[in-house]
Structure 1
Amino acid sequence: MSDSTLSPRTVLVTGATSGIGLETARQLAERGATVLLHGRTAEEARAAADHLVATASVDADRLCAYSADFTHLDEVETMAARVVAEHPHLDVLVNNAAMAAPERHTVTTDGNEIAFQVNFLAHYLLTCLLEPALTSEPGGRVVNVSSSLHRTASISWADPNRARRYSRLAAYAQSQLALTVFAADPRVAAVSVHPGVCDTALLPLYSHAGVTPAEGAAYVVRLCDAAVEIVNGAYYDRAERVDPAPAATEDRTIKRLNKLADLLVGRTT
């Protein structure tokens, strides 16, 4: 991995309180970036920032804590407004926050299947709202932390909440496919990356063993570096650029997903 400095960069990492997100924040901060750490609650976000100051060679002045519970889209809107106001020049958004779909079909107060909302819709809304701050200068980008499981997925267009036929693995995979498709949206330069099977809370979905979160995070951090050129919509399996599932690059699918997401997050015109 590159050891180049990221000192002028400002990066927002969602789900930065544990696992790959926390390690991504650590590595970015250690390389000099200003890191905006998102947590589900203000307390969790502040605790993550304090942990990094205590355990790493990180300047507290370069860490900013933000909070939003992604099961409530109004909290996403509130956080986005605060980020734009306080950091009008944002170089990178790392859409990392994720949850395993629960055993039982669960719907948020916004009316969406919970994994689809937390893993995709909240990130879709956040990215749209942060578009004014995301720099169009070379190197500005969105990095979606996706999953190889997107290859097993299909988007249930007629029933995206999977109310009629629910499977936790299918629901999780659908959310990861949607996030991968979203990277090909032409509005913002974006890529997706599968950081490998890591020993995090999501490990039971994949395997019994995984690499450390720090190893997975290194592949995410690499893509945050302006020195690493990207092609919009590219998908990486760790450090290697590979073809995503065919649906992820189909114009019709991209447009259809944007229309569905706009409807579900209340951005209809």
Structure 2
Amino acid sequence: MSSAVSPAFRTVLVTGATSGIGWETARLLAGRGDTVIVHAPDQASGDDAVTRLVAAGTDVLRLRLVVADFSRLDEVRAMAARVAEEHPVLDVLVNNAAVAAPERRTVTADGNELSLQVNFLAAYLLTRELAGPLSARPGSRVVNVSSSMHRTASIAWSDPHRAKRYSSGAAYAQSQLALTIAAREQAPWTSVSVHPGVCDTGLLRLYAHEGDSALQGAECVVRLCDPATGLVPGAYYDRRALSPAAPVAMEDRTVRRLCKLADRLVGAKSA
């Protein structure tokens, strides 16, 4: 179990921090004294998120804004390069950005199914691109905000973009399973995945008609960011409890196979 001692004030990057769980996570972490790098998909939503954070009592000096559209992998790389340059030490990366898969199959300019890219491939690439800052100080963490829906999913290995048989539910669930599996890859930092609960966010319609508040979900995420919380590397948490992930996510060969697939989908473009 990982429980390395970290400095009192840390640097944390939260993706998808303009609304919902991501915004509340950024607010809570900044309130603890951390420097929070707020990721937004565009400048306007980022400026609005920062304005609302400050209005909610956040110290503006604790906030940094970065912008990248995760449906464009070149923007993910550019954002990672900026973060690495400005923050050579990164204590926590929260991979929270997510979209619901559209009803009609949508392919990005990079050639990937939209939800697979935004929800998983962008996080996978970002984590790799930030390996230097994440390795700079002992005790760093990567928290993948996943979903209980990963239990309903399978990886379409021969057709990950679902060209032959597409459904929005299956595509979204696949992206969450991939994110859960990726947390088990061996790295110099401690990675985990977490289902923050069914929360009243933009993704609520995928789960139910009502749910917990975004703040309640964020509290589950922030707990895993806290150096005082011991983590089981590669583990999956359901809200605050350690929970078994889907059996396929626990197979070492599946982790290797997924990383090989992800490297093919993003690696050739970054070579």
CA distance in 2, matches of 1:6, 1:68: 28
CA drift at 1:43: 2.2
CA drift at 1:9: 1.0
Residue of structure 2 equivalent to 1:212 = 213
Amino acid in structure 1 at the alignment position of 2:257: R
Give per-residue Cα distances to partners, 1:5-51, cap 9 Å, x unaligned: 98511100000000000000001111111100000012211221121
Distance 1:267 1:92, change over 3 A: farther
CA RMSD after TM alignment: 1.4
CA drift at 1:54: 1.2
Runs of 4+ aligned structure 1 residues displaced above 6 Å come to none
Residue of structure 2 equivalent to 1:108 = 108
CA distance in 2, matches of 1:92, 1:45: 20
Please report the TM-score for the alignment, with normalisation by the length of structure 2. Answer: 0.95
Pairing of 1:248-259 with structure 2 (within 5 A): 248-259=249-260
Verify the 8 A CA contact 1:155 1:177 in the aligned structure 2.
yes
Percent of pairs identical after alignment?
62
Amino acid in structure 2 at the alignment position of 1:47: D
Verify the 8 A CA contact 1:14 1:39 in the aligned structure 2.
yes
CA distance in 1, matches of 2:140, 2:126: 16
Residue of structure 2 equivalent to 1:128 = 128
Residue of structure 1 equivalent to 2:160 = 160
Give per-residue Cα distances to partners, 1:178-229, cap 9 Å, x unaligned: 0000000002420000000000010010001101000100000000011111
Residue of structure 2 equivalent to 1:147 = 147
Amino acid in structure 1 at the alignment position of 2:22: G
CA distance in 2, matches of 1:236, 1:144: 10
- Bigger shift: residues 44-53 or 31-40: 44-53
Verify the 8 A CA contact 1:20 1:213 in the aligned structure 2.
yes
CA drift at 1:55: 1.5
Residue of structure 1 equivalent to 2:261 = 260
Amino acid in structure 2 at the alignment position of 1:246: P
Residue of structure 2 equivalent to 1:182 = 182
Verify the 8 A CA contact 1:10 1:36 in the aligned structure 2.
yes
**Secondary structure of residue in 2 paired with 1:197:** coil
Verify the 8 A CA contact 2:89 2:137 in the aligned structure 1.
no
CA drift at 1:156: 0.1
Report how many aligned residue pairs link the two structures.
264
CA drift at 1:263: 0.5
